[in-house]
Structure 1
């Protein structure tokens, strides 16, 4: 008889659902991919139905639903936060019974529900799927119920947290505060700060040290004089601009060098702090393996520095380290609690979302008047795509099951030739519609990665940066500091993407492609063939590959204009408050 545990994260941001069946993660997906609302916080009803379908079960076959945080403890912190705020959100959203009521009502589920604390879920999401028998665990984010940072250990199929830092002290909130000060959106712009940092110098490191004090026991405190997030309107106080001697940068204003220097100083300070915390954790546990999760663990630059500058020999960062990945942790906690004799299988890839057949794609395209190539019979899709890439074309690549987490890893990707001088600027300006300073990542054949990048282990999830050492000039994927956030690709986890890289290598002697997420600014990554077609039509992507079907812009211009005029591309939206980290 199958053992089925559903994990859910919801009602904050990045809601998601997953299912563990007989110790294996069968499916996991964010609700935003279905709803098309970026950071969708609603109960993941569509994701839930997908997970049931993928596992081949009905709602009556679920042994337990595991929820990623404790609603009672969270409501305590929310009420405390409200008492400090000048404006309040509806009390209904804070009712700790709200979660159970919604699960019962919207999912129609009347079975057992288990609740786990937020950072427990983060810790479990990384340890249980790491493949390590034992490991030290570090989780760092904005805030859970009260915890913002936890130290723990995983051993004997159990996770134990032995230390924590609590709200309002938070490294994640410090990073978000400077993100907001630099004119970027909170809960989304943190990636931009990380990408901006290499353009600056550490001229404000002394000021950064005034924002946070780290103790010997792994604890730390924020100097709240510089922060105003407790009031719920903005992240920084009037004292922060005084500290830096610079006014707050307005959104979309020119990015002066001094703001780049602040970004660099922040990133360096984060790295120094996390390294000290990791060293403390090693001294406490003596473990050789380190597992990390939480939104701060998505800072791939810091991850590489931690591994190089701490005694840990191996590191596993959960690829969906943000709150969506907490659904995995909650499910793992429930599974090991109910079935302690079972082990959970390691997570070696994140292709856990929906897939679509060639017939699905054919039905979509035949319902339009688009010209397309059907390569199923000839079987030469990859050779044709590699040729187009070698000609400098930008490709929308839609293949197999969608990725879980924030990175596109060769299932829903935009691809380009990394050697083309203006490729990065072209994709940034005409496809991604985002800031030109943000770097793109390379996907590289795992067997050839060591020839081109200064790294000694596989990196399948784009969660580490390293130096480029290739003899090939690759301006499109090499950042200003000669770094790259690599994805290693092998035949086991994504054979079709690996074969495309081989075909490109045959033509160019370059086993590397620029790989970025298949979406435009403020949109979720595409999920369905329809989503991919919309993104293709509304951007300057040259060519769309839907499984074994190839659609080129050339020859389809008039048809695509007609589709736009017929409102084929309309989409709904949801937005978080861009000025403050939402605590309620």
Structure 2
């Protein structure tokens, strides 16, 4: 049975293919259109997934949409009635916008979009094949079904689905009935952890649905001195982990602006305009809302454990992108293991809808044979791949000097370049699904010099200089560098050898033995230029790093590169960040990679087994560099 899942019209739209219960392909629309956070109907993503599967729309047995549009309309209507006459203009604008898209009509209207797609064939009875999966069930399905667990507690937290903003559930596996999910508790709009964080993102001068990462990155520079004010005036947390927001202060349910600016400024000082310099007060506010969200998520995890009795936890929803909060749940929470869907936001909902259509709607058995894979996500390498011909064609089209090397020489060559301090674009195999670059579409650098962090941010990424970078570390060496402890009952790791974090979903502290004594106040702005430890380029000012653990069976070439770098430097990790510039999606095609390479201060580009450079001085001659 072939199932197509898709999401669209709110955040980042996407499509996914599930074949007989196995995830085959998944891609975000933005990667193909080059429009950041593209929310349009994912026509290109559907085509890419079908092409990879060797199928057409006529071959698809079920089409799964990631939410129930009419239920979402009911929430919008009920919010408008409850707040009438306040917010009537806001309601009218939302309704007219949605209505133009035809999303709140019958299933047949969504089917018309599919039937009009260039990928459609003659078979167009979409109303009989279309399954609408509730939004939070799509998130839950994306987290539990591909996870390595036979049973687990499920925690979903995001902005809002139809009505739900936070959901606790349980995933189980039974003989003869396969895997199932039960949703047990939910919080409803407008009481939303995701929208709470977005309000402060906007108040701090960053773009909503894009700048939340910046708030998380800014938080370690500050002190949470506004924490009590937030808990007293903005969000009120109950003993059972549930919470309410003050609707008179956060006005997103009834107004196009997200909060009462005058009242917020009375509590937290002037709102920062997007182009204003960052101050210590801004960092303190970021630290405060970050700590509040961490504490709420940790209490929700405790409640999920109490409600289900499960020893494992899976996470999804946009709040699960907060890897600092995830790290606290892993360290301080009651669970033996925590697994986070690598695309926890709405793009992952496309995948979850397809999986729920298989397990729930079609009631098909579980597929547990995964071979060498730790989970069912294929290491998140679910997007398009490109061959040598396409790579060379893209380089020749822009007249870029390059050298084809043997496949076995790519990793040693790139490792030697990194060890010499070069910045390398790394483009290999199938593109990752989700917001993290995991070694398929990455920019790599030597993690040792502190100066690399600033150079990458300003000259390549072209973004704020305070933003941190991740460490991609050999799985069997993580415990030598980071406090990413495994537990005695761990499913995801051998006891005592460290924890799995294959999707950069957890933050961990670097071990004290790897740090240097310094009298510098590294938490000041600009403190990242201080050589604080052996891998300062990928360590944040609070002594932590976002971790990606790398196994050879997940990505043999990327693992080989880090292994070669370790041989040269005795450092079993590299700095890894997404291959893109500010405001752009991660590169997808060889042409995208070449454009980004030429427009930034990257030194080399490694695409498949081709190495490219810009200046004659950087030319390679058939041998890897000294």
Is TM more than 0.5 here?
A: yes
Q: Supply the distance in 1 between the matched residues of 2:501 and 2:265 (Cα, whole angstroms).
A: 41
In the other structure, the counterpart of 2:456 is 427
TM-score (structure 2 length as normaliser): 0.86
Q: Supply the distance in 2 between the matched residues of 1:140 and 1:374 (Cα, whole angstroms).
A: 46
Could you tell me which of 105, 108, 122 is aligned with 2:116?
Answer: 105
Deviates more, 1:361-370 or 1:517-526: 361-370
Is residue 495 of structure 1 aligned with residue 556 of structure 2?
A: yes
In the other structure, the counterpart of 2:20 is 22
Kindly tell me: are residues 245 and 547 of structure 1, through their superposed partners in 2, closer, same or farther at Cα, counting changes over 3 Å? closer
Is residue 282 of structure 1 aligned with residue 311 of structure 2?
A: no
3-state SS in 2 of match to 1:492: coil
TM-superposed deviation, 1:14 = 0.7
Could you tell me which of 280, 284, 295 is aligned with 1:272?
Answer: 295
In the other structure, the counterpart of 2:488 is none
In the other structure, the counterpart of 1:439 is 468
Is residue 463 of structure 1 aligned with residue 505 of structure 2?
A: yes
Determine if contact 1:138/1:152 at 8 Å carries over to the other structure.
Answer: yes
In the other structure, the counterpart of 2:34 is 36
In the other structure, the counterpart of 1:49 is 47
Unaligned runs of 5+ in 2: 174-178, 369-375, 486-498, 515-532, 619-626
Could you tell me which of 91, 95, 100 is aligned with 1:92?
Answer: 100
3-state SS in 1 of match to 2:16: strand
Matched ranges for 1:224-373 at <5 A: 224-345=247-368, 346-373=376-403
Kindly tell me: are residues 59 and 247 of structure 1, through their superposed partners in 2, closer, same or farther at Cα, counting changes over 3 Å? same
Determine if contact 1:151/1:281 at 8 Å carries over to the other structure.
Answer: yes
Determine if contact 2:231/2:237 at 8 Å carries over to the other structure.
Answer: no
TM-superposed deviation, 1:245 = 4.2
TM-superposed deviation, 1:239 = 4.7
TM-score (structure 1 length as normaliser): 0.92
Kindly tell me: are residues 555 and 204 of structure 1, through their superposed partners in 2, closer, same or farther at Cα, counting changes over 3 Å? same
Q: Supply the distance in 1 between the matched residues of 2:336 and 2:404 (Cα, whole angstroms).
A: 48
Q: Supply the distance in 2 between the matched residues of 1:65 and 1:167 (Cα, whole angstroms).
A: 28
Q: Supply the distance in 2 between the matched residues of 1:59 and 1:537 (Cα, whole angstroms).
A: 38
Determine if contact 1:85/1:230 at 8 Å carries over to the other structure.
Answer: no
Determine if contact 1:370/1:556 at 8 Å carries over to the other structure.
Answer: no
Is residue 413 of structure 1 aligned with residue 442 of structure 2?
A: yes
TM-superposed deviation, 1:238 = 2.8
3-state SS in 2 of match to 1:541: coil
3-state SS in 2 of match to 1:86: helix
TM-superposed deviation, 1:307 = 2.0
TM-superposed deviation, 1:338 = 4.9
Could you tell me which of 591, 595, 618 is aligned with 1:534?
Answer: 595
Is residue 382 of structure 1 aligned with residue 404 of structure 2?
A: no
State the Cα deviation string for residues 47-71 of structure 1 (Å, max 9, x = none).
1111112112222221100110001
TM-superposed deviation, 1:395 = 0.5
TM-superposed deviation, 1:259 = 1.1
Determine if contact 1:371/1:556 at 8 Å carries over to the other structure.
Answer: no
Matched ranges for 1:480-559 at <5 A: 480-555=541-616
Q: Supply the distance in 2 between the matched residues of 1:426 and 1:240 (Cα, whole angstroms).
A: 39
Instruction: Give every structure 1 segment of 4 or more consecutive aligned residues whose post-TM-superposition deviation is greater than 4 Å.
Output: 80-83
TM-superposed deviation, 1:85 = 4.7
In the other structure, the counterpart of 2:5 is 7
TM-superposed deviation, 1:18 = 0.6
Determine if contact 1:71/1:99 at 8 Å carries over to the other structure.
Answer: no
Q: Supply the distance in 2 between the matched residues of 1:333 and 1:118 (Cα, whole angstroms).
A: 11
State the Cα deviation string for residues 319-373 of structure 1 (Å, max 9, x = none).
1000000011100111113553421452251000011111221233334432211
Deviates more, 1:227-236 or 1:117-126: 227-236
Q: Supply the distance in 2 between the matched residues of 1:95 and 1:466 (Cα, whole angstroms).
A: 43
Matched ranges for 1:150-189 at <5 A: 150-156=167-173, 157-189=179-211
Q: Supply the distance in 1 between the matched residues of 2:144 and 2:150 (Cα, whole angstroms).
A: 9
State how many pairs are aligned.
Answer: 554
Q: Supply the distance in 2 between the matched residues of 1:131 and 1:505 (Cα, whole angstroms).
A: 29
Kindly tell me: are residues 388 and 254 of structure 1, through their superposed partners in 2, closer, same or farther at Cα, counting changes over 3 Å? same
State the Cα deviation string for residues 59-108 of structure 1 (Å, max 9, x = none).
22211001100011112223455672535143323533343332232353
State the Cα deviation string for residues 221-248 of structure 1 (Å, max 9, x = none).
1111211213443212135434524010
3-state SS in 1 of match to 2:219: helix
Determine if contact 2:400/2:613 at 8 Å carries over to the other structure.
Answer: no
Q: Supply the distance in 1 between the matched residues of 2:602 and 2:263 (Cα, whole angstroms).
A: 42
Is residue 145 of structure 1 aligned with residue 162 of structure 2?
A: yes
3-state SS in 2 of match to 1:380: helix
Unaligned runs of 5+ in 1: 558-584
Determine if contact 2:395/2:594 at 8 Å carries over to the other structure.
Answer: no
In the other structure, the counterpart of 1:200 is 222
Q: Supply the distance in 1 between the matched residues of 2:482 and 2:333 (Cα, whole angstroms).
A: 21
Determine if contact 2:268/2:285 at 8 Å carries over to the other structure.
Answer: no
3-state SS in 2 of match to 1:187: coil
In the other structure, the counterpart of 2:520 is none
Q: Supply the distance in 1 between the matched residues of 2:182 and 2:314 (Cα, whole angstroms).
A: 13
In the other structure, the counterpart of 2:176 is none
3-state SS in 2 of match to 1:491: coil
Determine if contact 1:19/1:26 at 8 Å carries over to the other structure.
Answer: yes
Q: Supply the distance in 1 between the matched residues of 2:74 and 2:322 (Cα, whole angstroms).
A: 30
Q: Supply the distance in 1 between the matched residues of 2:165 and 2:351 (Cα, whole angstroms).
A: 19
Determine if contact 1:226/1:239 at 8 Å carries over to the other structure.
Answer: no
Determine if contact 2:460/2:581 at 8 Å carries over to the other structure.
Answer: yes
RMSD of aligned Cα (Å) = 1.7
Matched ranges for 1:559-570 at <5 A: none
Q: Supply the distance in 2 between the matched residues of 1:240 and 1:508 (Cα, whole angstroms).
A: 54
Determine if contact 1:440/1:516 at 8 Å carries over to the other structure.
Answer: yes
In the other structure, the counterpart of 1:398 is 427
Q: Supply the distance in 2 between the matched residues of 1:47 and 1:355 (Cα, whole angstroms).
A: 14
State the Cα deviation string for residues 395-425 of structure 1 (Å, max 9, x = none).
0100000000000000000000010221010
